Amino acid sequence: MKIMTLANHITVVRILLIPVFVLFAVYYGRSIEDGQPEEWLRIASIIVFITASVTDLLDGWVARKFGQMSRVGAVLDPIADKGLLLSALITLTFSKWTYAFPLWFLVLVIARDIVIMTGCLVVKHLNGKLEVHPSLIGKTATATQMIALAWVMLQLPGHLYPIYVAGAFTLLSGMGYVLDGVSQLRHHDTPHA
C-alpha cells in the first residue's frame, strides 16, 4: 500500500496552507494597527482558510471513494484539523482584527483538548485500550467553532453570540468526553461473572 496517497497529499496541502493563512491574517491585523486596513489581506486570509477547510472534506471523500484510508492519513488528518483551527483561533485572538476572539475562548478550546488528550492517555494506560466514540456534541462543538471563526473573519455584527454558543458546546463536549472516559474506566474495573 502506498504511504502517500492522493488523500494524504491533499491533507499535506491543508497543513501547508496554515502558515499562509496566519501570514495574511497577521499582516491584516498589522494594517489595522497602522490605521490603514488592507482589506485584500483579510479577503486573502478568508480564501486560504476556506480552501484549507474544503480540503478537509475533500481528503476524506477521496480516501473513502478510492479506498485510500491509511495510518498516515489517520495521523495527518487530525493534525491538520487541529492545526488549522488552533492557528486561526490564536491568530484571531492576538492580532488586531476589527473583531477578535476573547482570550477565555482560546483558553477553553485548548484546555478542553488538553483534558481530552490527557484522558485518552490515562484510559489507554489503565485499560490497555481506548475506545474512541465521536459524539454529536463534539461534532457540533467543532461546527460552532468554525461558524464563530467565519463570523469573526467576515466581520459580521454580533460576533460574540456565535462565540458564546461555540464556547457552550466546547464545554459540553469536553464534559461528555470526560464522562465517556470515566465510563470506560468503570467498565474495565467491573469484574466479569
Q: How far apart are alpha carbons 64 and 3 in whole angstroms?
A: 15
Each residue's pLDDT tens digit, 155-189: 999 999 999 999 999 999 999 999 998 998 888 76
- How far is it, in rounded angstroms, from Cα 120 to Cα 1? 29
**Predicted confidence band of residue 1 (pLDDT cuts 50, 70, 90):** low
HEC readout, 72-119? HHHHHHHHHHHHHHHHHHHHHHHCCCCCCCCHHHHHHHHHHHHHHHHH
Give the pLDDT confidence score for residue 189 in this predicted structure.
Answer: 62
**Angle separating helix axes 39-65 and 71-94, nearest 10 degrees:** 160
The span from the CA of 23 to the CA of 17, in Å, is 10
pTM, two decimal places: 0.87
Are the C-beta atoms of 38 and 28 separated by less than 8 Å?
A: yes
Which tens digit of pLDDT belongs to each residue from 21-39?
999 999 999 999 999 999 9
The confidence score (pLDDT) of residue 69 equals: 86
pLDDT in tens, 77-88: 889 999 999 999
